[in-house]
């Protein structure tokens, strides 16, 4: 689990919602990713190697969408459940005005745990808000 | 009184039993309908289902209504159980220069707006919603603008044509060509494109002033004033839309109109198709035009008598007549009238003046014509006045000349001549011509030109293309002349100079290097004359012509703009809701429940062990390299070729297991990466494989045709295109977000992301989705074939002996091009009924998200074996409840675009389900109380899919049956179930 971000799974009729907070945008993003992992497995495993990822997008919400989409992709091609997320988010205000996430995750081999599939991230009801204490995020996943 | 149902802020009106309507309001483009009993309505009245079906009606191009099936429930974007159909044809929009669909053009590209105005595309940002642009469909029509986007830092290219049009556009900007819309990247020098040479007048905000008030009509009766007031015509302001229509009518009437004062009729004379345009403008002002009258008239010219048919149209309202007269249309005999340019004319915006002028030129000015063979005559407006009124006539023409001069168009002096005088009066003929130097004529024809006269408008287009072509040739000759002279001055021998310019004849070079030349060269001898040129070019009904691309050059990067129009292009392929192409198939056996009893445990274990499911479980087949593309391209055909099925399977699958429009190249590498090891896998969540027994048969004859009878064992497989489908969906969702941001911002939900039909993105997505559907069919085919093997093992017989044949496979998350009877507008586009002027067959993108196609008997799309009874529909229930087999109902085509429900529909969230149920308990209960054997990768999945979390499938099917959209054929009950 990320040291400084927290998440909660929320009810959603057809799908599952994740509400997360973090003192920084990166921490909040990582907490959502932890929520994505929790939505897929109740098991806690210590195994697996860490891997890095970098995601770029044109805006904050697009970056979150692409980040979570990338994690689902990595899950399927590496055959691991990405857990234990860390992330930093920076805005590269240069030419392209890009948002960049650099992060790491630990990939727990799917064979070692009971996991079920989150099919995709959605934009449905997505919210990213700055608060006095940092950031609050809500995302719905298609299960 | 209409019965209504209030659901948390949304009111539904009852149309008839089980049919509820959310009427159109706000930005809804069509009504929304919900097919449900009150019990089912209650289940969705507190969540977002109704809001979501309402939201879907905001999608441009939606026809008839968006409709929610009886099992509808909250999804993202579209509700699950939503059906929407959008017109599938492409439309296009016309900027002044090259090309139509403004996909991505540089900011200075001009767009032609209504009333002959033009504006730089970048200047549309602030008020595009209020603007109407001109669109070149089959005809030239106006259309609302529905989106505007701006994208920075795009590589752009400058395109130039032989007739001198230039435009800067991105590589994916489509141009209209004789072969249809083609993107710039695929065009090269020498290819032909269509251009619309008319540019119009630069747009500006007119000064606001009051043109007419009630005071102007005090002499008239109060009823006449009331008629005008009711139509919002009093007071009449210079900024009123109606005023612009009136300017055209007054301009034309001054030339070719007449009043019958006694009857209050206002007559216009012209060709029938031009009169149709006049009728439309009369309508726009708020009056009813007559039909077009036709009568034969005898004329005598130079002693020769001949017949001519005269066409006319009239406004029948006296108020309309008085209005035109107050606006300056002359009364009585024009030759005896003192009319001049209307008094308010000087205060009008340039484009408003041009409306009046072009309409009067349509009536009075002669068409472009050749004077000498390669030069054009100066177009002239002329009319007769009696000598006493000749000065007024001259003032009128001078007013026109001044207005043209202000627009940068030069004119000749007004000419006056004596002419044949009749018995009563001496007549004077007055004449004004537009100067005929090419540049001046070009400016005149492309900015003002003619209106209400298609013949002259067409000729003007020919003249413009001729002059531009001629100028381009002369420019090139001038260049050669200069270069040749420079070479000669530099000491190059005459022969070498001639050889260097073999595109011109030697004498031309000689003249220029020896004698020198002042002024511009003439076109070469063999340059076609105007009439000759006109025979070669074809001006289309929409006033476009073909021309040839002469260069395409990189032009750096810049900000580009995109607008989309309502007309035709308002057809959308909604992306957000065509997700994983999941569907169901049912396989029959000749086993009975008796044969299976006692073997359930072994069966469920063997199925679970052999059919890949859950996360990371792999697939039946690992698709390496080209193989995946083959699957995407060929569908079940591939499976049969590779030993995963038999020919007979193809005949029992929707589309025979292959979507012909599939384009594997439109699926990303990422999506393919995810798809390679999942071919033949269930996945998890609500997807499952179930062995079932038939418990009830409702329609004997149809069940007979389907090969179903009571107590028979069948296998139901419910899954989709897996990671590949989801990745494809999200890839395109993001692409649409990046490329059509303006549109997306106008939609109530980002998940409704849609690509305009006809755009490259829409076509790519359709190709990708069809490929994903092929993948989904192969997925279910491989699982089915693996199930045959498992049955062979468990029952010790070969599968053929157990008659394990496919009943049907149908997708229920899909968008498909289909033809349906819908309401049509005057341009033939599919529209909601209340906007329709006609009905007819039209190709649509029918979107079914969590809805099943339900075509009745007789539809050619159904496999031959079922054509006489209707298409099988398989409705999976939840684990503890039954499933149903239905057949396409007769009413489905008129009620739901040939669709019905797809399942039970969730009631309870997964999180809540896990709190309420424990997987182990659910499993035990099902086995002990109902004899259902369940095996899943995770106990949580069992809890999440517990029977209580779903709607009552019986109620869903009952409503479908009552509505006649899907008729109940048989019911099945689970025996064994595996899931991820």
To the nearest whole Å, the CA of A64 is away from the closest chain B CA by 12
- Round to whole Å and give the CA distance between A82 and A73: 10
What pLDDT is recorded for position B97?
A: 19
Give the confidence band of B577 by pLDDT, cuts at 50, 70, 90: very low
Residues of chain B in contact with residue A15, where contact means CB-CB under 8 angstroms, are 76, 909-910
CA–centroid distance for B120 within its chain: 23
B411 pLDDT more than 50: yes
Give the confidence band of B484 by pLDDT, cuts at 50, 70, 90: confident
Structure tokens at B426: 């001496």
To the nearest whole Å, the CA of A59 is away from the closest chain B CA by 10
Give the confidence band of B575 by pLDDT, cuts at 50, 70, 90: very low
The conformation of residue B217, written as its DSSP 8-state character, comes to G
To the nearest whole Å, the CA of A86 is away from the closest chain B CA by 23
Structure tokens at B841: 């067959």
CATH 3.10.28.10 is the classification of domain B210-447: yes
B613 pLDDT more than 50: yes
User: In this structure, are residues A115 and A81 in contact, taking their beta carbons and an 8 Å threshold?
Assistant: yes
Torsion region of B264: left, alpha or beta (phi above 0 gives left; psi -120 to 50 gives alpha): left
Total number of residues shown for chain B: 980
A31 pLDDT more than 70: yes
- How much is the average pLDDT of B144-156? 71
Which of A143, A38, A26 shows the shortest CA–CA distance to A81? Answer: A38
Residue of A14, A58, A110 lying closest to B615 (CB–CB): A110
- Round to whole Å and give the CA distance between B766 and B771: 9
The conformation of residue B368, written as its DSSP 8-state character, comes to P
What pLDDT is recorded for position B100?
A: 27
Structure tokens at B937: 């990768």
Give me the phi and psi of B593, to 5 degrees please. -55, -35
- Round to whole Å and give the CA distance between B38 and B86: 29
As annotated, the residues of chain B forming the CATH 3.90.1860.10 domain(s) are 572-907+950-979
B576 pLDDT more than 50: no
Helices (H) and strands (E) in chain A, counts: 2, 8
User: In this structure, are residues B352 and B345 in contact, taking their beta carbons and an 8 Å threshold?
Assistant: no
Instruction: With both helix axes pointing from N to C terminus, report the angle between B669-676 and B722-739 in degrees, rounded to the nearest 10.
Output: 170
- Per-residue pLDDT of B365-409, as tens digits, reads 999 988 877 888 889 998 889 999 999 999 999 999 999 999 999
Residue B491 near chain A (CB below 8 Å): no
Residues of chain A in contact with residue B727, where contact means CB-CB under 8 angstroms, are 69, 73, 120
What ipTM goes with this model? 0.90
To the nearest whole Å, the CA of B959 is away from the closest chain A CA by 22
| B721, closest residue in chain A (CA to CA) | A119
DSSP string, B394-432: HHHHHHHHHHHHHTT--BPPPEEEE----SS--EEEEEE
B39 pLDDT more than 80: yes
Which of B24, B20, B27 shows the shortest CA–CA distance to B67? Answer: B20
What pLDDT is recorded for position B147?
A: 65
The conformation of residue B520, written as its DSSP 8-state character, comes to P
Instruction: With both helix axes pointing from N to C terminus, report the angle between B222-230 and B318-326 in degrees, rounded to the nearest 10.
Output: 80
- Round to whole Å and give the CA distance between B49 and A55: 33
Place of tokens 């105007």: B530
- How much is the average pLDDT of B11-34? 92
Tell me the sheet residues that pair with A137.
A20, A128
- Per-residue pLDDT of B798-833, as tens digits, reads 999 999 999 999 888 888 888 999 988 877 888 888
Torsion region of B257: left, alpha or beta (phi above 0 gives left; psi -120 to 50 gives alpha): beta
Look at A79 and B616 and tell me if their CB atoms are within 8 Å: yes
| A108, closest residue in chain B (CA to CA) | B616
Residue of B615, B727, B750 lying closest to A115 (CB–CB): B615
Instruction: Name the 3-class secondary structure at B125.
Output: coil
User: In this structure, are residues A54 and A102 in contact, taking their beta carbons and an 8 Å threshold?
Assistant: yes
- Per-residue pLDDT of B743-767, as tens digits, reads 667 777 777 777 777 677 778 888 9
* Inter-CA distances, B567 with B63, B135, B517, B612, Å: 13, 7, 53, 48
The conformation of residue B711, written as its DSSP 8-state character, comes to T
What pLDDT is recorded for position B579?
A: 39
What pLDDT is recorded for position B568?
A: 44
| A94, A117, A121, A142: best to mutate for the B interface, most B CBs within 10 A | A117
A22 pLDDT more than 90: yes
Residues of chain A in contact with residue B980, where contact means CB-CB under 8 angstroms, are 116-117
Residue B674 near chain A (CB below 8 Å): yes
Look at B76 and A10 and tell me if their CB atoms are within 8 Å: no
Residues of chain B in contact with residue A116, where contact means CB-CB under 8 angstroms, are 614-615, 684-685, 937-938, 940-941, 980
Which of B463, B450, B428 shows the shortest CA–CA distance to B366? Answer: B450
User: In this structure, are residues B858 and B892 in contact, taking their beta carbons and an 8 Å threshold?
Assistant: no
Among the four given CATH numbers 3.60.15.10, 3.55.10.10, 3.40.50.300, 1.10.10.10, the one describing domain A6-142: 3.55.10.10
As annotated, the residues of chain B forming the CATH 3.10.28.10 domain(s) are 210-447
**B235 cis-preceded (ω within 30 degrees of 0):** yes
Look at B73 and A116 and tell me if their CB atoms are within 8 Å: no
Give the confidence band of B979 by pLDDT, cuts at 50, 70, 90: confident
Give me the phi and psi of A10, to 5 degrees please. -115, 155
- Per-residue pLDDT of B313-333, as tens digits, reads 999 899 999 999 999 999 999
B516 pLDDT more than 70: no
- How much is the average pLDDT of B23-52? 89
* Inter-CA distances, B645 with A64, B510, B635, Å: 42, 80, 12
| B49, closest residue in chain A (CA to CA) | A13
Give the confidence band of B835 by pLDDT, cuts at 50, 70, 90: confident
Residue B730 near chain A (CB below 8 Å): yes
H/E run at residue B166: strand B166-170
| B51, B672, B907, B938: best to mutate for the A interface, most A CBs within 10 A | B938
Give the confidence band of B266 by pLDDT, cuts at 50, 70, 90: very high
* Parallel, antiparallel or unpaired: strands B872-875 and B838-849: unpaired
- Round to whole Å and give the CA distance between B674 and B725: 9
What pLDDT is recorded for position B522?
A: 85
- How much is the average pLDDT of B706-725? 94
User: In this structure, are residues B140 and B542 in contact, taking their beta carbons and an 8 Å threshold?
Assistant: yes
Give me the phi and psi of B349, to 5 degrees please. -65, 155
Structure tokens at A101: 């996430």
- Round to whole Å and give the CA distance between A41 and A52: 21
Residue B721, number of CB atoms within 10 A of its CB: 33
User: In this structure, are residues B84 and B847 in contact, taking their beta carbons and an 8 Å threshold?
Assistant: yes
- Round to whole Å and give the CA distance between B848 and B873: 14
DSSP string, B925-976: HHHHHH--EEEES-HHHHHHT-GGGB--HHHHHHHHHHHTSEEEEEEEEEEE
Give the confidence band of B566 by pLDDT, cuts at 50, 70, 90: low
Residue of A75, A95, A124 lying closest to B153 (CB–CB): A95
- Per-residue pLDDT of B639-683, as tens digits, reads 999 999 999 999 999 899 999 899 999 999 999 999 999 999 998
Look at A124 and B80 and tell me if their CB atoms are within 8 Å: no
Among the four given CATH numbers 1.10.10.60, 2.170.16.10, 3.40.50.2300, 2.60.40.10, the one describing domain B105-196+542-565: 2.170.16.10
Tell me the sheet residues that pair with B78.
B76
- Round to whole Å and give the CA distance between B642 and B647: 12
Ordered by start, the domain boundaries in chain A are 6-142
Which of B481, B469, B480, B475 shows the shortest CA–CA distance to B528? Answer: B469
User: In this structure, are residues B752 and B29 in contact, taking their beta carbons and an 8 Å threshold?
Assistant: no
Residue of B77, B673, B940 lying closest to A116 (CB–CB): B940
Residues of chain A in contact with residue B580, where contact means CB-CB under 8 angstroms, are 119
What pLDDT is recorded for position B565?
A: 59
Residue B558 near chain A (CB below 8 Å): no
CA–centroid distance for B749 within its chain: 20
User: In this structure, are residues B550 and B161 in contact, taking their beta carbons and an 8 Å threshold?
Assistant: yes
B578 pLDDT more than 50: no
B98 pLDDT more than 60: no
Structure tokens at B7: 């659901």
* Inter-CA distances, A15 with A125, B183, B811, B938, Å: 12, 40, 21, 17
What pLDDT is recorded for position B921?
A: 85
The most confident of A52-56, B531-535, B936-940, by mean pLDDT: A52-56
User: In this structure, are residues B941 and B914 in contact, taking their beta carbons and an 8 Å threshold?
Assistant: no
Exposure letters B10-20 (e unless 16+ CB within 10 A, then b): bebeeeeebbb
Which of B673, B555, B557 shows the shortest CA–CA distance to B623? Answer: B673
Domain B572-907+950-979 class?
Answer: alpha beta
Give the confidence band of A130 by pLDDT, cuts at 50, 70, 90: very high
Reply yes or no on whether B567 is catalytic.
no
Give the confidence band of B337 by pLDDT, cuts at 50, 70, 90: very high
To the nearest whole Å, the CA of B103 is away from the closest chain A CA by 20
Residue B681 near chain A (CB below 8 Å): no
Contacts of B269 (CB under 8 A, 6+ apart): B256, B257, B258, B310, B311, B312
pTM above 0.95, yes or no: no
Angle in degrees, CA B906, B853, B747, rounded to 5: 65
To the nearest whole Å, the CA of B725 is away from the closest chain A CA by 10
């Amino acid at each position: 689990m990320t040291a400084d971000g927290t998440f909660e799974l929320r009810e959603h009729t057809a799908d599952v919602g994740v509400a997360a907070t973090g003192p920084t945008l990166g921490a909040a993003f990582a907490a959502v990713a932890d929520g994505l992992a929790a939505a897929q497995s109740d098991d806690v495993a210590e195994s697996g190697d860490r891997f890095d990822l970098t995601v770029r997008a044109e805006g904050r919400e697009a970056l979150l969408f692409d980040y979570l989409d990338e994690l689902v992709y990595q899950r399927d091609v590496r055959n691991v459940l990405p857990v234990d997320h860390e992330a930093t988010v920076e805005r590269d205000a240069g030419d392209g005005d890009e948002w960049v996430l650099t992060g790491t995750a630990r990939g727990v081999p799917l064979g070692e745990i009971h996991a079920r599939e989150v099919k995709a991230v959605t934009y449905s009801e997505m919210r990213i808000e700055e608060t006095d204490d940092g950031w609050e995020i809500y995302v719905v996943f298609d299960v | 009184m209409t019965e209504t149902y209030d659901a948390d802020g949304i009111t539904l009106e009852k149309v008839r039993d089980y049919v509820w309507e959310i009427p159109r309001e706000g930005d809804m483009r069509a009504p929304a309908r919900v097919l449900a009993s009150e019990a089912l309505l209650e289940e969705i009245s507190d969540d977002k289902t109704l809001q979501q079906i309402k939201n879907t009606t905001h999608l441009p191009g939606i026809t008839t209504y968006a409709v929610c099936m009886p099992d509808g429930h909250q999804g993202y974007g579209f509700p699950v159980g939503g059906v929407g159909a959008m017109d599938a044809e492409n439309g296009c929009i016309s900027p002044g220069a090259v090309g139509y669909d403004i996909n991505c053009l540089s900011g200075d590209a001009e767009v032609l707006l209504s009333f002959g105005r033009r504006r730089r595309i970048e200047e549309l940002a602030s008020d595009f919603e209020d603007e109407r642009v001109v669109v070149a469909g089959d005809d030239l029509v106006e259309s609302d603008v529905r989106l505007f986007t701006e994208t920075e830092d795009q590589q752009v290219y400058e395109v130039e044509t032989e007739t001198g049009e230039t435009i800067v556009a991105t590589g994916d900007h489509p141009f209209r060509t004789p072969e249809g819309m083609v993107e710039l990247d695929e065009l090269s020098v020498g290819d032909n494109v269509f251009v619309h040479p008319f540019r119009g007048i630069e747009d500006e905000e007119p000064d606001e002033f009051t043109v007419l008030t009630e005071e102007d009509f005090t002499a008239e009766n109060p009823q006449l004033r009331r008629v005008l007031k009711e139509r919002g015509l009093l007071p009449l302001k210079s900024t009123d839309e109606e005023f612009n229509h009136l300017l055209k009518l007054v301009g034309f009437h001054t030339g070719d109109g007449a009043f019958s004062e006694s009857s209050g009729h206002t007559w216009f004379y012209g060709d029938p198709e031009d009169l149709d345009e006049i009728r439309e403008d009369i309508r726009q002002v708020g009056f009813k035009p007559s039909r077009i009258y036709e009568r034969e008239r005898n004329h005598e010219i130079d002693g020769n008598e001949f017949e001519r048919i005269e066409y006319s149209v009239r406004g029948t309202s006296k108020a309309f007549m008085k209005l035109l007269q107050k606006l300056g249309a002359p009364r009585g005999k024009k030759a005896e009238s003192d009319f001049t340019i209307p008094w308010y004319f000087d205060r009008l915006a340039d484009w408003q003046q041009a409306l009046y002028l072009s309409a009067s030129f349509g009536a009075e000015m002669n068409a472009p014509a050749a004077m000498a063979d390669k030069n054009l005559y100066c177009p002239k407006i002329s009319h007769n006045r009696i000598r006493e009124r000749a000065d007024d006539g001259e003032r009128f023409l001078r007013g026109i000349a001044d207005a043209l001069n202000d627009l940068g168009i030069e004119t000749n002096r007004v000419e006056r001549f004596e002419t044949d005088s009749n018995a009563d009066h001496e007549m004077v003929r007055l004449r004004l011509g537009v100067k005929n130097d090419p540049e001046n004529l070009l400016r005149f024809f492309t900015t003002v030109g003619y209106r209400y006269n298609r013949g002259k408008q067409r000729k003007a287009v020919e003249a413009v293309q001729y002059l531009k072509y001629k100028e381009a040739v002369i420019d090139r000759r001038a260049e050669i002349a200069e270069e040749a002279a420079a070479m000669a001055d530099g000491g190059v021998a005459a022969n070498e100079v001639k050889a260097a310019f073999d595109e011109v004849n030697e004498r031309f070079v000689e003249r220029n290097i020896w004698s020198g030349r002042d002024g511009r060269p003439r076109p070469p001898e063999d340059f076609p004359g105007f009439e000759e040129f006109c025979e070669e070019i074809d001006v289309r009904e929409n006033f476009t012509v073909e021309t040839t691309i002469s260069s395409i050059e990189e032009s750096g990067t810049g900000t580009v703009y995109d607008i989309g129009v309502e007309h035709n292009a308002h057809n959308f392929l909604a992306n957000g809701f065509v997700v994983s192409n999941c569907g169901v198939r049912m396989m029959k056996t000749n086993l009975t429940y008796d044969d299976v009893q006692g073997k359930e445990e072994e069966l469920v274990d063997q199925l679970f062990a052999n059919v890949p499911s859950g996360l990371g479980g792999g697939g039946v087949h690992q698709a390496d390299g080209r193989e995946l593309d083959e699957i995407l391209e060929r569908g079940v055909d591939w499976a049969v070729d590779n030993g995963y099925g038999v020919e007979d399977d193809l005949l029992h699958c929707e589309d025979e297991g292959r979507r012909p429009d599939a384009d594997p190249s439109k699926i990303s590498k990422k999506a393919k990466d995810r798809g390679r090891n999942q071919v033949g896998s269930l996945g998890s969540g609500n997807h499952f494989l179930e062995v079932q027994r038939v418990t009830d048969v409702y329609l004997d004859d149809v069940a007979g045709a389907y090969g179903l009878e009571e107590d028979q064992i069948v296998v139901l497989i419910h899954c989709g295109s897996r990671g590949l489908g989801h990745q494809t969906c999200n890839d395109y969702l993001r692409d649409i977000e990046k490329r059509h941001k303006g549109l997306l911002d106008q939609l109530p939900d980002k998940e409704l992301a849609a690509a305009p039909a006809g755009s490259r993105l829409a076509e790519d997505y359709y190709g990708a989705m069809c490929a994903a559907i092929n993948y989904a069919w192969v997925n279910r085919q491989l699982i089915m074939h693996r199930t045959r093997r498992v049955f062979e093992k468990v029952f010790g017989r070969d599968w053929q002996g157990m008659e394990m044949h496919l009943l049907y496979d149908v997708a229920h998350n899909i968008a498909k091009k289909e033809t349906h009877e819908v309401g049509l507008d005057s341009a033939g586009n599919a529209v909601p009924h209340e906007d329709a002027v006609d009905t007819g067959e039209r190709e649509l993108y029918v979107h079914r998200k969590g809805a099943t196609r339900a075509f009745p008997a007789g539809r050619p799309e159904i496999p031959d074996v079922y054509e006489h009874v209707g298409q099988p529909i398989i409705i999976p229930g939840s684990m503890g409840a039954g499933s149903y087999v239905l057949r396409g109902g007769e009413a489905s085509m008129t009620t739901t675009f040939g669709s019905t429900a797809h399942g039970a529909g969730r009631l309870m969230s997964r999180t809540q389900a896990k709190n309420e149920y424990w997987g182990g308990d659910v499993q035990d209960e099902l086995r002990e109380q109902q004899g259902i054997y369940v095996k899943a990768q995770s106990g949580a999945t069992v809890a999440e899919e517990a029977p209580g979390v779903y709607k009552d499938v019986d109620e869903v099917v009952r409503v479908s049956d009552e509505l006649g959209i899907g008729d109940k054929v048989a019911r099945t009950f689970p025996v064994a179930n595996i899931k991820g």
